Structure 1
Amino acid sequence: MSVIEEERVRGGVFKDINAEDEDQQPTVIESLCMTCYENGSTRLLLTKIPFFKEIIISSFTCPHCNWTNTEIQSAGRIQEQGVLYTLQVKTKEDMNREVVKSDSASTRIPQLDFEIPAFTQNGSLSTIEGLLDRAVAGLEQDQPIRKATDPVVAEKIEEFIQRLKKLKEVEKEFTLIIDDPSGNSFIENPFAPQKDMALTVAHYKRTPEHNAALGIEVEEEENDEKPGSDLDTMRNEVLVFNTNCPECNAPANTNMKLMILYVVNCEIWRSHRRAGNQNNLTDPSDMSRDLLKSETCSVLIPELEFELGMAALGGKFTTLEGLLKDIKDLIVSKNPFMCGDSSTADRAEKLELFGQKIDKIIAGEMDVHIILDDPAGNSYLQNVYAPDPDPEMKIEKYTRTFEQNEDLGLNDMKTEGYAEK
């Protein structure tokens, strides 16, 4: 293990971001100014934002020409899936939403046919208004040269710049789309822990083109194994390989055992079934119920107007108490907008109140319904009255919608004729 990895495990290199931590001082490096070619200074701060793992914040200042530049770069691992944020900007308050945009993310505003392609800007930690200001500054940079060499083009760009500036007044609703194959970008939900009706978050599987752009090499596996080959010897073998922990990014081991995946091909049933478990918590002993939450399972608590989408928290086997503690930890303790300059008194008060309600549920002082909704049907909640029916729990199976099948990749799945040549 390298020195960086050892420090990463101990938390010595990347510390939690905290504006009140006097020991969290940036590293200052003498650097060349690319504007006047004199020496300036670059300040590097290695820190951690819980939702985005580790980041590097850099700030360059030149005392000779007074040129400055700030950037944010991801120092953590690329996420398992890409992420697509779609925000309907309706009010001026939406312009204050914090945004983490990595350098691999593209930004689009369909109403203006405007797009900032991936890898054309460095990563940034800003607001929606800041993103628009940065786009305007980029377009205005070469305007003096355009006015001298091509006045017609300069005039059209000036008209477009004015349209971008008007967006900040939010006279009309517009859509902001951030598409990041690395999964390391983020748009703030100011209503957390409640669901944000204006914001849609979708996770997707990267294409080979995405992996190539990110510099990821994916080895193709050969599936033409025959009986009697090494495949048979692997059936009862547990494979161990090195990975990074999805929570803290520390080196860890993953155990894997070969399993068989099959598809039931029935024109009527067609495997289009999903399951939902609803449990009414009326007794503290309910907290000890075993619970299996898959990565495709969402969690709802209607009394708190709370919904945790699929892919959040990942898949885990725990208890109801453990799930609630993980939810509180994710929303309250690990929320990057609860500390430093990003924190506001109103937001902190709402999230603190949410945490107190979770504590009351765990202590049995508040009756609520816990709903596990898994489109893949791979989640489970223990029936403590088994083999008798559980009077506190309702299990419902129903047909998935087209959108849910699309999220699970079932609409494009070929279940017949795939072996034909």
Structure 2
Amino acid sequence: MEPKLIFEAKLKCPVCGNETLIARDYLYDAGEVGKLVLSNWECTSCNYKFRDVKPYETREPKTLEFVVEKEEDLNVMVYRSPFAIVKIPELGIEIYPEDASQGILSTVEGILEDFLENLGSLCQENDCYDVYEAKEGKRKFTLIIEDSSGLSFIKSEKVKVTRSLSLSQTQP
């Protein structure tokens, strides 16, 4: 299915202030992920661009658990919705969604790489040794995704899915 235009307008640009921001939102059926709203906004004056992907619908809340036991498990495909919390208890990792979070399609290894990148200089190699070991397939760990929207998935037969009426979506 091709994306369907659901909104189009000329708006005031938040950068240059001109009424030259062309805003277009599209509805796209992404199969297993569900329907998505694809936003493509661009200012013809200053070239400011805004791109976003958000779920159009939600499902029943769920928790996904995936035990990474061998190096091949790092290549498993993962979709984390914009509303999902990612936890890896063995490594002390908890990643909470932010107001402007986007859904991310990645691999288990990609999630670890993003974590290390986002920490930047705060994570010296010695401080994050366990995470580096896990990323290289040398350490067993459990990837947990708590998703209030129910849209996240892990593409593996080993994943354990638990439906939940209430997930803790508040930060500590």
TM-score by length of 1: 0.31
Match of 1:84, as an amino acid?
T
| CA distance 1:13–1:59, shift in 2 (3 Å) | closer
From the CA coordinates, give the structure whose radius of gyration is larger. 1
1:72/1:122 contact within 8 Å kept: yes
Greater percentage in helix? 1
Query: Could you tell me which residue of structure 2 aligns to residue 205 of structure 1?
Result: 165
Mark the runs of 5 or more structure 2 residues left unpaired by the alignment: 16-21, 43-48
Query: Could you tell me which residue of structure 1 aligns to residue 4 of structure 2?
Result: 13
Identity %: 24
Q: What is the CA deviation profile of residues 319-368 of structure 1, one whole-angstrom value per residue up to 9, with x for unaligned ones? A: xxxxxxxxxxxxxxxxxxxxxxxxxxxxxxxxxxxxxxxxxxxxxxxxxx
Alpha-carbon distance in 1 for matches of 2:12, 2:134: 37
Aligned length: 154
Greater percentage in strand? 2
Alpha-carbon distance in 2 for matches of 1:126, 1:199: 16
Q: CA deviation at 1:170?
A: 0.9
Q: CA deviation at 1:60?
A: 8.9
1:165 to 127, 132, 152: 132
Alpha-carbon distance in 1 for matches of 2:34, 2:141: 30
**Equivalent position SS for 1:103:** coil
Query: Could you tell me which residue of structure 2 aligns to residue 87 of structure 1?
Result: 66
| CA distance 1:129–1:12, shift in 2 (3 Å) | closer
Q: What is the CA deviation profile of residues 99-142 of structure 1, one whole-angstrom value per residue up to 9, with x for unaligned ones? A: 111111000011111100233643212222222222122111xx
Is residue 2:92 matched to residue 1:113?
Answer: yes
2:75 to 90, 96, 103: 96
Mark the runs of 5 or more structure 1 residues left unpaired by the alignment: 1-10, 15-26, 35-40, 62-67, 144-153, 190-195, 214-421
Match of 2:119, as an amino acid?
L
Alpha-carbon distance in 1 for matches of 2:14, 2:137: 37
| CA distance 1:126–1:30, shift in 2 (3 Å) | farther
Q: CA deviation at 1:175?
A: 0.6
Q: What is the CA deviation profile of residues 230-263 of structure 1, one whole-angstrom value per residue up to 9, with x for unaligned ones? A: xxxxxxxxxxxxxxxxxxxxxxxxxxxxxxxxxx
| CA distance 1:42–1:132, shift in 2 (3 Å) | farther
Alpha-carbon distance in 2 for matches of 1:59, 1:171: 41
Match of 1:90, as an amino acid?
E
Is residue 2:150 matched to residue 1:174?
Answer: no
**Equivalent position SS for 1:179:** strand
Is residue 2:9 matched to residue 1:49?
Answer: no
Match of 2:164, as an amino acid?
Y
Larger relative contact order, structure 1 or 2 (CA cutoff 8 Å, min sep 6): 2
Match of 1:127, as an amino acid?
T
Alpha-carbon distance in 2 for matches of 1:114, 1:96: 19
2:66/2:159 contact within 8 Å kept: yes
TM-score by length of 2: 0.70
Query: Could you tell me which residue of structure 1 aligns to residue 114 of structure 2?
Result: 134
Q: CA deviation at 1:92?
A: 2.3
Query: Could you tell me which residue of structure 2 aligns to residue 75 of structure 1?
Result: 56
Q: CA deviation at 1:88?
A: 0.5
Query: Could you tell me which residue of structure 1 aligns to residue 46 of structure 2?
Result: none
2:65/2:145 contact within 8 Å kept: yes
**Equivalent position SS for 1:136:** helix
Q: CA deviation at 1:178?
A: 0.4
Tell me the C-alpha RMSD between the 2 structures.
Answer: 3.7
| CA distance 1:87–1:12, shift in 2 (3 Å) | closer
Q: Which runs of 4 or more aligned residues in structure 1 lie more than 4 Å from their structure 2 counterparts after TM superposition? A: 29-34, 41-45, 57-61, 68-71
**Equivalent position SS for 1:115:** strand
Match of 2:148, as an amino acid?
P
Q: CA deviation at 1:163?
A: 3.2
Q: CA deviation at 1:30?
A: 10
Q: CA deviation at 1:12?
A: 6.9
1:72/1:124 contact within 8 Å kept: no
Match of 1:171, as an amino acid?
K
2:130/2:139 contact within 8 Å kept: no
